[in-house]
Amino acid sequence: MPVWHDATKQWATDGKLVLLGVTQEQHPERCRLFAQWKGFGWPILHDPINVLGSAAVPVVLAIDEHGIVRSTRPNPKTFAADFLDKAFADDATNKPVPPTPAHPPKFDDLKAAAEAAKTADAWRRYGDTLALWGGEEKLSAAIAAYRQAVTHDPKDGPAWFRSGVCLRRRSETTAREADDFRAAVAAWGTALDLDPNQYIWRRRIQQYGPRLDKPYPFYDWVPDAEAAVRKRGETPVALPVRPDGSEIAQPAKAFAAVKDAPTNPDPKGKVNRDPGSVTCEVVVVPAVVKPGQSVRVHLTFRVASMKTDHWNNEAEPLRVWVDPPAGVAVHERLIAAERPKAATSTEPRTVGFEVQVPKDAAGTIRVPVYALYHLCDEVGGTCRYVRLYATVEVKVK
Amino acid sequence: MRHSLLAVPAAVLLSQLALGQTPKVGDRHPDFTLPDVAGGKPKTLSDFRGKKVLLVQFASW
């Protein structure tokens, strides 16, 4: 992108060319920060559900004054002569159609149309409109619409992918449902099984997946961008969901299993069990692997009642001990969660690690884990150090 | 430098384009309306009719 930004800056300033960006990323703020860092002044549109139907990016199209594509591989060096300085005839063979999805949205009309048509297409169209224009409050309705679409046509890959996008989005809101992230990963996996050549869909899984399956670290550039923007005296675009863990993990060509295992912090299970003050959500990405492959495990710990409990950040951090069965490799055994500087807090705590299943694995591989953490209750002011068990299930097929 | 289009090997780019539903040369590009990442007014491709447009689909990673 910087190549085209630099090459076309003067033409855009002179009004000879409109540079129009589209990004299919899950989080628009991250692309905004990237644009701020690079000094992109042109509009960038957000297509998180990939209504444009692209199979991969980058895609660069030269579109003439009539809306007709004149080049799918423009060359910056010959762009002026090949395209910009030419006048084109309105000679497209296909006719113009109304923009999709329709804006401003007519949710009720689209819902009624979907109920009447009873087709995957109609439900997907309704879902698309809700997903793009409905904001957070319509995410559940969008997910329901996409579920209708895949009920009518279980092979509707775009509906599966888009439902995953909405599920992941909802998982980052206060309207989150317990299974959202896991369901998003499952939906993306189903979509990719239907069309393995869809790289926009594949990247969404890789974003949260293991290092062996990553083409790049995705968001490792964020701290550099923020520092550079601050150095210019500007305020960096705020990121409501900061990338961490798998989203900044460096790709690897070989699985690096932990060699010198640290000491099990509570081998005999002497620390009291948490009676239910904290929940642990377990998500495995991808949802299903082949024998010998690896997965990224996401553990999210949430204080069940923020009214009565909080993390005690003055004590040692939340730690997770991973206890893999024989033949199963993990890249870390003892992992500490990051914590804020404040003495107490109630935010979700995340821990990630990777598991490689044996080459002869089949069925479901279970990896026991437990967490140790310090909690205090608001009412009595008492603090406690407790233990929570969880099981990671890796499906092998 | 994965952000640079020129850094993408031509063979890879060609194979990726061949997989997608990218409009062909000579096609009128299907119209679309999408939100602006900056939160501004949604934009429709056909709003730019009469002007030459370079449409760039990209990701920050």
Q: What is the value of ipTM here, to two decimals? A: 0.90
DSSP character string of B3-47: T-GGGS-HHHHHHHHHHS-PPPTTSBPPPBEE-BTTS---EEGGG
Write down the residue that tokens 């009565």 correspond to.
A308
Mutate to test the interface with B, among A8, A27, A57 (most CBs of B within 10 A): A57
Among the four given CATH numbers 1.10.3720.10, 3.40.630.40, 1.10.1740.10, 1.25.40.10, the one describing domain A107-208: 1.25.40.10
pLDDT-based confidence at A103, cuts 50/70/90? confident
Q: Which listed CATH number (2.30.29.30, 3.30.300.30, 3.30.1300.30, 2.60.40.10) goes with A254-396?
A: 2.60.40.10
Chain B hits for A249, CB-CB cut-off 8 Å, are none
Q: Is A62 on the interface with B (CB under 8 A)?
A: yes
Q: What is the mean pLDDT of residues A157-183?
A: 96
8 Å CB contact of A43 and B40:
yes
Lookup result for tokens 């501004």: B40
Whether A275 has its CB under 8 Å from any CB of chain B: the answer is no
User: Looking at the partner chain, which of A25, A45, A56 has a beta carbon nearest the beta carbon of B36?
Assistant: A45
Rounded distance between C-alpha atoms, residue A215 and residue A250, angstroms: 9
Maximum alpha-carbon separation in chain A:
80
Res A185: pLDDT: 98
- Phi and psi for A122 in degrees, rounded to 5? -65, -40
Query: Strand, helix or coil at B54?
Result: strand
Bond prior to A58 in cis (omega within 30° of 0): yes
pLDDT of residue A378: 75
Please write the tens of the pLDDT for every residue from A252-310: 999 988 877 789 999 999 999 998 999 999 999 999 999 999 999 999 999 987 678 89
Contact A20 B53 (CB under 8 A): yes
Q: Which chain A residues in 1-20 lie under 8 Å from chain B, judged by CB atoms? A: 1-4, 8, 16-20
Confidence (pTM): 0.91
Judged by CB atoms closer than 8 Å, whether chains meet at B52 and A61 is answered as no
B11 and chain A in contact, CB less than 8 A:
no
Q: What angle do CA A229, A24, A350 make, to 5 degrees?
A: 70
Instruction: Answer yes or no: is pLDDT of B6 > 50.
Output: no
Q: How large is the angle between the packed helices A157-171 and A139-152, nearest 10 degrees?
A: 160
Percent of residues, chain A, with pLDDT higher than 70: 99
Tell whether A227 is within 8 A of chain B (Cβ).
Answer: no
Task: Tell me which chain A residue has its CA closest to the CA of residue B23.
Answer: A69
Q: Among A3, A20, A94, whose Cβ lies nearest the Cβ of B5?
A: A3
Domain ranges of chain A: 107-208, 254-396
Parallel/antiparallel/unpaired status of strands A18-23 and B53-58: parallel
> B44 in contact with A at a CB cutoff of 8 Å?
yes
- Whether residue A82 lies within 8 A of chain B, CB to CB, comes out as no
Rounded to whole angstroms, how far apart are CA atoms A50 and A158? Answer: 8
Residues of A in contact with B36 (CB under 8 A): 43-46
Q: A393, A288 in Cβ contact below 8 A?
A: no
* Mean model confidence pLDDT for chain A: 94
Record: contact B32-A99, CB cut-off 8 A: yes
- Position B4 scores a pLDDT of 41
**Beta pairing class for A44-46 and A18-23:** parallel
Residue pLDDT, tens place only, A182-235: 999 999 999 999 999 999 999 999 999 999 999 999 999 999 999 999 999 999
Mean pLDDT of A132-151: 97
Tens of pLDDT, residues B34-47: 999 998 889 999 99
To the nearest whole Å, the CA of A208 is away from the closest chain B CA by 13
**Is A60 close to B33, i.e. CB distance below 8 A?**
no
By the 10 Å C-beta count (0-12 exposed, 13-18 middle, 19+ buried), A1 is classed as buried
**Strand duo A344-345 + A309-312: pairing:** antiparallel
